[in-house]
């Protein structure tokens, strides 16, 4: 199966959305390489980056679920590296 490495970046502009975002990330925990979250208190937002390694459809599904959470804005950047599991 072909896999890709990608970074999913999210900006959360309402603290109440963080719990739902964490639940979605936990659901997809088996494809997560690592994550970093930065609270930007000055602007009242949270900036989250999640590195993943999975088939492209799984990455798109995770990104789509994150994008459907109210007050969360998401973009995904894919690497050109294609692996095989």
- pLDDT tens string 33-83: 999 999 999 999 999 999 999 999 999 999 999 999 999 999 999 998 788
pLDDT at 82: 81
User: What total of structural domains would you count in the chain?
Assistant: 1
CATH of the domain at 27: 3.30.70.1150
Count of other CB atoms within 10 angstroms of residue 39: 14
Q: What is the pLDDT of residue 81?
A: 77
The CA distances from residue 21 to 1, 51, 70, in Å, are 27, 15, 10
Residue 45 structural domain: 2-84
């Amino acid at each position: 199966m072909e896999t890709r490495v990608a970074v999913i970046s999210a900006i959360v502009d309402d603290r109440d959305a963080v719990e739902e975002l964490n639940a979605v990330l936990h659901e997809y925990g088996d494809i997560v390489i690592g994550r970093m979250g930065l609270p930007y208190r000055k602007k009242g937002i949270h900036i989250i980056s999640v590195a993943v390694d999975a088939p492209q459809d799984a990455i798109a599904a995770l990104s789509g679920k994150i994008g459907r959470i109210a007050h969360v804005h998401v973009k995904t950047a894919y690497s050109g590296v294609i692996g095989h599991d």
